[in-house]
Amino acid sequence: MELRDNGIISISHLTKVFQNGKQKIEAFRDINLKINKGEFVSIIGASGCGKSTLLRIIGGLEREYAGKVIFEGKPITAPSRQRGFIFQDIRLLPWLNVEENIKFSLPPDMLNIDEIVSEKIDIVSLKGFEKSYPKQLSGGMAQRVAIARALANQPKVLLLDEPFGALDAITKIKMQEEMLRIWEKEKITMVVVTHDIDEAIYLGNRVVVMRSHEGCKIYDIKLPNPRSRISREFNIQKEIIYKEFFGDVEAPFVYSI
């Protein structure tokens, strides 16, 4: 997918400090990042480096910070339906079925609600499960409902905070493939936070490595989709990012370059 210089989100000199009593804790410092329309960006970093906080700032859920965060030319000051958010914990309402959980998030005066809900259920491959309740769904299916719920609001950007972290390995891989299929079909900008280097490379056009107190480093992933996780090119990218965390220690999963 060829990306042009058409930024939808611009982050300039972003710094976030938490106040813990009398102590100040710096989550991250001087993040500079532009996200293009239609791009899939992966954000990765060690625990505590501020990945999820950065995503919450983009989503308008965290509002106290230094620096600028711009969405379509305007500062982000509050949450917006134009920036959908998917959390690691799925947060479905157990007393509502699949259709009802998706409808619950939509404004009541929205036109063609039933048509939109049906379309999004089809997009996430849940046709036939419209009347099922959360307790009747697998973890992967429940996460698909959460994705459909976010897409039903027709956002321009979808923010995903470790959306597959609680899934087993096989389901996780299937959901990554599903997410790429949805991204290509919906042509929506996506930003995912993950701890998984493999996942970051498999999904992202670019991988943003968060570095505690040192801004971030950005890697272009110039691999065609669908990507083979066992290809030499994929593993070369994996080794480059692995060394960002572990220095020159040889990665056990890569080919020699």
Note the pLDDT of residue 252.
56
Q: Residue 72 and residue 58: Cα distance in Å, rounded?
A: 12
Q: pLDDT per position in the chain (257 positions), as tens?
A: 443 457 899 999 999 999 888 898 898 999 999 999 999 999 999 888 899 999 999 999 999 999 999 999 999 999 999 999 999 888 899 999 999 999 998 998 889 999 999 999 999 999 999 999 999 999 999 999 999 999 999 999 999 999 998 899 999 999 999 999 999 999 999 999 999 999 999 999 999 999 877 889 999 999 998 899 999 999 999 999 999 888 765 655 555 44
For the whole model, what pTM was predicted?
0.92
Nearest to 190 by CA among 22, 27, 3: 3
Strands 74-75 and 66-71: antiparallel
Measured between alpha carbons, how far is 158 from 137 in angstroms, rounded to an integer? 23
- Helix%, strand%, coil% for the chain, nearest 5: 35, 25, 40
Across 185-194, b (16+ Cβ under 10 Å) vs e yields ebebbbbbbb
Q: Is the four-CA dihedral 101, 102, 107, 109 of positive or negative sign?
A: negative
Tell me the per-residue pLDDT of 100-120, one tens digit each, with 9 for 90 and over.
Answer: 999 998 998 889 999 999 999
For 164-191, the pLDDT digits (tens) are: 988 999 999 999 999 999 999 999 999 9
Instruction: Give the alpha-carbon dihedral of 24, 29, 30, 31, to 10 degrees.
Output: -120
